[in-house]
Each structure stands twice: as structure tokens, then as C-alpha cells.
Amino acid sequence: MSVLICGGAGYIGSHMVRWLTERDHEVMVLDNLSTGHREAVQWGQLVEADLMDPASLDRVFARRNVDAVMHFCARSLVGESVAQPYAYYANNVTGTLNLLEAMRRHDVKRLVFSSTAAVFGNPVADVIDEEHPKTPINPYGASKLMVERILTDAAEAYGLRSVALRYFNAAGATSDACIGEAHACETHLIPNVLKSALGTGPALKLFGDDYATPDGTCVRDYVHVEDLAQAHLLAVDYLQDHPGAHAFNLGNGRGFSVREVIETAATVVGNSIDYEVAPRRTGDPAVLVASSSKAREQLGWTPAWTELGPIIESAWRWHQSQPW
């Protein structure tokens, strides 16, 4: 299978490139390198192009026949999306429309779209399934939900087959520490905890310790990046026999509190990790945990990384290997 991976120089995209290459698929990476890293593309062919430039997309599709597209490109910082909504709708919605139009011009009929748990907004249930109300509370989540709606319409109008995969908290790195999570502006808990332990990041802050949870801190669902890659390949195969637009939630189905993450990380690194308790952040729900029953039943997805310790250990090995 020949797969075009849009955003393949980024965190999840680069893991996807490796996953496919190791399974003998042909991979081409499209990335503008605005947030991705050239050095992360260690497999496949990198083509510098931009979803905001339709002509560059045509040049990419003209290079070779493409059987399926995996779309990871997005602006994804919630706070930034509130401050710069136009930029988020332009990049995440208009950019995706440009990609979809290019796919239609070049007769590519299968797409796996990187969506997010942010489409749900504030949860009304502790465990979130696909039928949970979708009321995003920021432009980032709204932009992803808009694309999901576009994909539904595209299935009806053009016969596009698509799967939207809604990640909860992506985490971890390859077992051999070859690639990992490297964001210029890091907002995720696990890398910030590990950077604090290494002394390469800012002082660690715990935002809110008065939630209605067992230890007072927020509870989140962490899913390993290699398990996400597995789900994407299963989704492409699923589309072979399932027309239409589909959506699946991806998570462990288990929640871990912020304090549990910090304590587990301390065990992994072999030292205590200091932190400061700060006020709650606006919009942080107490609990966000996915029900992935639909993905398990329909895609045949079985996460290999189910415990928090090994997930953090994989990230720690990668962070230790970096010349911070």
C-alpha cells in the first residue's frame, strides 16, 4: 500500500511513518516543517509542501499513485486557538479542504483523519463514548469537529471513505528511543514532568488540587503513540470494506491523575520530582476518560501499552537521549 502522511515530521506522524515502513508499506511524507522536525523523518520520502498551497499539493500527488492519506497536520494548542481563532480555522479547516480537493482531483478515496477528544467539550460522563454530546469549548476543538462534518458530507457527495480518530492523551515514544515527543511549545504533562526531572524545562506546576477526584487532581486517559499508529493502519484496512464516514475514540479506558503521573515518573527516573500547586486552569474538566469499545470491536484494535509506568519509561528513554 502507498500512503501519504500529511504531518509525518511531527510527533504522532513520525511514529506512523515508522510503523508503516516496518510493515513494508510505501510511505511519502508531506510536511511544511513549521512545527515538525526534518530529523524525525528517518523513513520514507519527505516532500516539503503546505496544505495552504493547493498547487504544492498537486505536485505531491503527481509524484506517485497514493492508495490512502493519513492527515496529522494541524495547529493544536488550545490556548493559542482562543487567542488566534482565524489562524486555527484557516489551517485546520481550509487546509483540510485543500487536501480533500486535491484527493478528489487525483482520485484518492481513503482518508484517516487525526481528530481529538476536544470535540466533546466539557464531559457529561466520566467515560466518553462516540455518542457523547459534541460541544467544543475552544476553536481548536471546533475546527476538528467542523472537519468531521465535512467528511460526512464528502462521503455523501463524493464517495470519500474516511475514519476520524479522536485521541485522548497521546504519550510515550518508540521503545528504542529513536523518535519521541519534541514540541517547541510543550503543553503535555508527561514530557513536562520529565523535562523538569532532567532540569531542562521550567519548574513543574500542578494546576488545581481541589477537584472531585480521589486525590484532588485531574484524571486523564493516556494512550501510547505506537498504539495510535496501530489504530491508523487498522482504520485504513477498515475502509476497504466500509464506505462512508466513521469516527472512533482512542484511549486506554483507564484514567490516571496528575499526581499519579508525577509519582510514577519519579519511580521511573529514580528521584522525587518537585512541583508547585497552582490555581485551576479555565476549562479543565475533572475527568476525561475514553470508551474505546467501538474501536476494539469494529477495528480489532488492542492497545499493547496499558500501564502508565511503561508508557512513561518509553518517554524517559527518549528524553534522556536528547542533547537538551
Q: For 77-92, how does the pLDDT look when each residue is reduced to its tens digit (9 = 90+)?
A: 888 888 999 999 999 9
Q: Average pLDDT, stretch 299-319?
A: 94
Q: Name the residues annotated as catalytic.
A: 140
CB contact set of 199 (below 8 Å; sequence gap of 6+): none
Model confidence, pTM: 0.93
* Residue given cell 468531521 in the structure block: 148
CB contact set of 303 (below 8 Å; sequence gap of 6+): 223, 224, 227, 230, 252, 292
Structural domain including 181 reads: 174-221+253-320
- 324: confidence class by pLDDT, cuts 50, 70, 90: low
pLDDT in tens, 106-131: 999 999 999 999 999 988 988 999 99
Q: How far apart are CA 114 and CA 69, in angstroms?
A: 11
Q: Are residues 226 and 313 in the same domain?
A: no
Q: Which of 136-140, 231-235, 252-256, 282-286 has the highest mean pLDDT?
A: 231-235
Asked if residue 292 has pLDDT above 90, the reply is yes
Asked if residue 253 has pLDDT above 80, the reply is yes
> Among residues 151, 89, 139, 142, which one has the least CA distance to residue 120?
142
Q: Are residues 41 and 107 in the same domain?
A: yes
Say which CATH number the domain at 237 has.
3.40.50.720
Q: How far apart are CA 195 and CA 99, in angstroms?
A: 36
Q: Are residues 31 and 158 in the same domain?
A: yes
Q: Are residues 202 and 74 in the same domain?
A: no
Percentage with pLDDT > 90 across the chain = 76
Report the pLDDT value the prediction gives residue 136, as an integer from 0 to 100: 92
| Residue with the larger pLDDT of the pair 78 and 218 | 218
Q: Are residues 7 and 56 in the same domain?
A: yes
The tally of domains found in the chain comes to 2
Report the pLDDT value the prediction gives residue 215, as an integer from 0 to 100: 96
Q: What is the mean pLDDT of the chain?
A: 92
Q: How far apart are CA 312 and CA 168, in angstroms?
A: 16
Q: Are residues 88 and 200 in the same domain?
A: no
pLDDT in tens, 160-169: 999 999 999 8
Report the pLDDT value the prediction gives residue 178, as an integer from 0 to 100: 79
Asked if residue 185 has pLDDT above 70, the reply is no
Report the pLDDT value the prediction gives residue 208, as an integer from 0 to 100: 94
